[in-house]
Amino acid sequence: MASDRAPAEPPLTDDEFARAMAPLGPFEAAPRLAAGVSGGPDSMALALLAAAWAESRGGSLVALTVDHGLRPESAAEARAVGHWLGKRGIGHRILRLAPEGRSGARPRGGIQAAARAMRFALLAGWCEDNAVLHLLLAHDRDDQAETLLLRLARGSGVYGLAAMAPVLEGGAVRLLRPLLGFSRRRLEASLRARGQEWIEDPSNQDLRFARVRLRVARAALAREGLSVARLAATAGRMARARAALEEAVAALLAGAASLFPAGFCRLDAAPFAGVAEEVGLRALGRALAVVGGAEHGPRLERLERLYAALALAKGGAGAARRAHTLGGCRILWPGGGGRSLLVCREPARASERLALIPGRAVHWDGRFRLRLRPGRPGEGLFVARLGAGGWAAILRHEPGLRRSPVPAAARPALPALWDGRGPVLVPHLGYARPGDGRGPAEAVSLGALEVAFAPRLPMTGPSFAVAK
């Protein structure tokens, strides 16, 4: 539970928090906010400060705690958070991973990263389901400094060294980090001033994790000039450089990229000739992230090798016309000798299989949003890639699909609605299995399945936000 160290820094005031929130808008007249609250000092401080901020503007805050089940104490800790916040009149919800997310799903490596990804998916999903636009996370200045060091160790370039943005736009939820300018000690001091306990996560002392090892080394780093404040300031400067770079990347992609509803992309190689290599690299990485349904582009060193192999610095002139794979994508030169690249999802990587419940939207493979309209039969139906077997099955019913405008390389990774007998619908190919009255799926028509290409990242959009 709470540490009893005397606060070394003053508490964070409501006015300071309001000034930190101001550049993260716009907000509605009576803002509805959600905040991820694990019970640690940073997230508990965020909950108290954000609830007061929202209430002063006629709005409200709901605190969301994810019970990830990775530790036996997690359920009791989630209840404790709800008890503390309830006494202060702050709404609270506990989100639990589905049972299949716990049985045998504990990752062999990258436990903290996997847990963060699952936690964020639950938080964002709750916000979307409950029409809450703004999701607040409690990353602070210490987290920013640690993220910079971790990415430096991985050989990141400007994009990675910009660390975490205060605002992330995209999708149905705006992700806000109002505490990036404040130290963890100030947040702890804020809780002490309010008489609020918090929870200490034992994993924060586990030296198996790189972030924890960096935390232990903090005093030695500070003696060499690498203080938390200086590292965070460096991340801010990298953020400015990244924002400028993203503007150039967006301009290049506007002239070079054509993105299609079936989830593939064509890249005209000619506009890449003559642009700064860093701009071209980032444009290629963005295209791969979008088509691959990823949150980030591939590692820089791998991207550099692909960029060289494609000869994009020369507009594709002289490149070997062979296929490549990177970032869950296939990159190939279609026939005809042109200089237009085809970027499509690597079929083997589109391995997700999701049940469909009528009326409930799902996000499949990080790329497509699908929803079976209410009132339609849903039992036994699921979304999965079409694959080679599915393609062969639908061709038996409709041989003319070979003439589809969707490139052959992109077809196996298309989303398809399946039942136990095979593909039922493939919307991007206009395919619906002929009915024979043998099951409820026969009543499902193409119009019953809503599908939209909705990657985690847009091809272009707001540039990386810079903290004020």
Enter the pTM of the model: 0.77
Question: Tens-of-pLDDT digits for all 468 residues of the chain?
Answer: 444 444 468 999 999 999 999 999 999 999 999 999 999 999 999 999 999 999 999 999 999 999 977 677 888 999 999 999 999 999 999 998 764 433 334 444 455 566 677 788 889 889 988 999 999 999 999 999 989 888 888 888 888 888 899 998 867 899 999 999 999 999 999 999 999 999 987 666 666 777 778 777 777 887 888 888 898 999 999 999 999 999 999 999 999 999 999 999 999 999 999 899 999 999 999 999 999 999 888 988 999 999 999 999 999 998 888 999 999 999 999 876 678 999 999 999 999 999 988 888 888 999 999 988 887 666 788 999 999 999 999 999 999 999 999 999 999 999 999 998 899 999 999 999 987 545 555 556 778 889 999 998 889 877 777 876
How many CB atoms are closer than 10 A to CB 278? Answer: 16
pLDDT attached to residue 208: 72
pLDDT confidence of residue 257: 96
Task: Please give the pLDDT value at position 102.
Answer: 35
CA-CA-CA-CA torsion sign (126, 127, 128, 130): positive
Distance in angstroms (rounded) separating the CA atoms of residues 83 and 85: 6
Helix axes 41-56, 14-21, angle to 10 degrees: 80
Tokens of 183: 């130290």
Q: What is the pLDDT of residue 263?
A: 97
Question: What 3 state SS string does 158-175 have?
Answer: HHHHCCCCCEECCCCCEE
Position 264, amino acid = F
Amino acid at 84: W
